[in-house]
Structure 1
């Protein structure tokens, strides 16, 4: 397989369809604050039920993955680079709000993607 942007995107698109176990430490909504030049990540708590679904700890209701949900975040982390944001979340926050290595790796990838979008002016959509 040739190393083209299209081929690499196809690999990532296929991998984005795989099953992932959700982190009982919670989840993040990542967005850009272009006015301040920041990558932002809102952290939300959740509980994982016996079916492996994320549940709102306050209401007991399943948190839908593809719908907009009105919930209150616990913390907003922000940084000018992916590395700065990772340091704040994984080194300066004890204990870190991430409990699974797969989730940490995912966040690192997303923070790099969001940093590239911030620098290039491209739209950023969280995977």
Structure 2
């Protein structure tokens, strides 16, 4: 189980690195947060939701924090109630994250593919 989780995380990171390149050239209207942003993925086999918060440090390097849970409610509790975010986010960003977590949980229940907006 531990090895498969590590492989999933490596695959998740590799997949994300591919998407960064696409985001840079995707649209001039795409407005990413300059301080922090989130990538949400799901694992349909184990029914888990992964939320990775990417932050920029003072030197401009990116680091990330990974949250894992099976429900949107559990992840919102960990992230917001236990105040586990490294950087404060706006209310708009928090509402977006909550909406995407609910959408990701619903895709697991309905056995569908999750695509983050």
- Length-normalised TM-score, structure 2: 0.63
* Unmatched segments (≥5 aa) in structure 2: 1-28
* Unmatched segments (≥5 aa) in structure 1: 1-17, 48-55, 59-71
Question: Counterpart of 1:15?
Answer: none
Question: Counterpart of 1:22?
Answer: 33
Which consecutive segments of 4 or more residues in structure 1 shift more than 6 A?
A: none
Question: Counterpart of 2:116?
Answer: 126
RMSD across aligned C-alpha pairs, in angstroms? 2.5
- 2: CA distance, partners of 1:20 / 1:120: 30
Alpha carbons 1:43, 1:75 under 8 Å: kept: yes
- 1: CA distance, partners of 2:32 / 2:92: 9
- Residue 86 to residue 23, structure 1, CA distance change in 2 (3 Å): farther
Question: Which has the larger Rg?
Answer: 1
Match status 1:77 vs 2:67:
yes
Measure how far apart 1:19 and its partner are: 7.5
More helix by share: 2
- Residue 74 to residue 21, structure 1, CA distance change in 2 (3 Å): closer
- Residue 117 to residue 28, structure 1, CA distance change in 2 (3 Å): same
